[in-house]
């Protein structure tokens, strides 16, 4: 049987690509599930390295772990710091009407 990456491994690899991360986070936001959002931010931080993100954002590593934990609740300020270090930004746009 051919060996390949699992879907999870593929996702983690894709999370290194800023364009993919932008689409991923947008899709998560559209789900309107705060827990899923925190989980997605945690996956992005993990793949880029907690220590590296902590150093680049000025957010203590322990704080990153806490805010991205199952009970985490990152502030918009910290989410923006994380996304900024990944070359991303949050934006607001008019809602699409049917």
pLDDT at 59 exceeding the cut of 60: yes
Domain that holds residue 73: 9-85
Is 67 domain-assigned? yes
Residue of 85, 7, 83 whose CA lies nearest to 41 = 83
Is 90 domain-assigned? no
Residues 6+ apart with CB under 8 A from 40: 24, 25, 28
Is 95 domain-assigned? no
Is 3 domain-assigned? no
pLDDT at 92 exceeding the cut of 60: yes
Is 18 domain-assigned? yes
Q: What is the mean pLDDT of residues 75-82?
A: 96
Domain count, the chain: 1
* 63 vs 15: which has the higher pLDDT: 63
Predicted confidence at residue 83, as pLDDT, reads 94
Is 29 domain-assigned? yes
């Amino acid at each position: 049987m051919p060996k390949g990456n699992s879907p999870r491994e593929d996702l983690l690899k894709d999370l290194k690509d800023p364009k993919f991360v932008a689409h991923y986070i947008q899709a998560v936001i559209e789900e309107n599930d705060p827990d899923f959002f925190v989980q997605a931010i945690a996956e992005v931080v993990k793949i880029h390295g907690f220590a590296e993100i902590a150093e680049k954002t000025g957010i203590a590593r322990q704080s990153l772990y806490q805010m991205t934990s199952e009970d985490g609740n990152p502030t918009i300020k910290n989410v923006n710091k994380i996304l900024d270090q990944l070359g991303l930004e949050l934006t607001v746009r008019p809602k699409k009407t049917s």
